[in-house]
Amino acid sequence: MTKYDPKSLQDFALQLETQSVSVAPKFTFSGILVGVIPAVLLLILAAVGVGGIKMLYFAIPAFIAGAAAGGIAGFQLSKFKVARMQHEIQTILCLLQIEKNTRGGEPSEGGHDR
């Protein structure tokens, strides 16, 4: 059984805080990549000759619209992920503070012995 270690909880909360900063750019970039897939398919079809030159005219607006929609969707999803991470951080810090207040000082290492 793992022993209670407040330092590891504090480290975990700090690690989550650090990770939460990079969530929005990662999700936004991933959304952009997913959003441009239809445009890339249109470009491939136009290059192969399916649909003729008209297919090429649709590819550029589809690329822009797909990138914009994917980026916005990715950013919106990142806000939920960051909020969930912040909630977890606050829960950990609250539990550490409860332990500190209950013991009358710093949380004890290694268990709940009084």
Q: Quick one: tokens of 51? A: 């649909």
- Is 42 or 54 the better-scoring residue by pLDDT? 42
Q: 80-85, long-range: CB within 8 Å, 24+ apart, which pairs?
A: 81/23, 81/27, 82/20, 82/23, 82/24, 85/16, 85/17, 85/19, 85/20, 85/23
**pLDDT band for position 11 (50/70/90)?**
very high
Give CA–CA dist 82/21, Å, rounded: 8
Q: What is the pLDDT of residue 18?
A: 92
Q: What is the pLDDT of residue 52?
A: 66
Residue spans per domain, the chain: 26-102
Q: What is the pLDDT of residues 63-103, one digit of tens each?
A: 889 899 999 999 999 999 999 999 999 999 999 999 888 88
**pLDDT band for position 113 (50/70/90)?**
very low
Q: What is the pLDDT of residue 60?
A: 80
- Is 29 or 55 the better-scoring residue by pLDDT? 29
Q: What is the pLDDT of residue 25?
A: 94
Q: How much is the mean pLDDT over the chain?
A: 84
Q: What is the pLDDT of residue 103?
A: 81
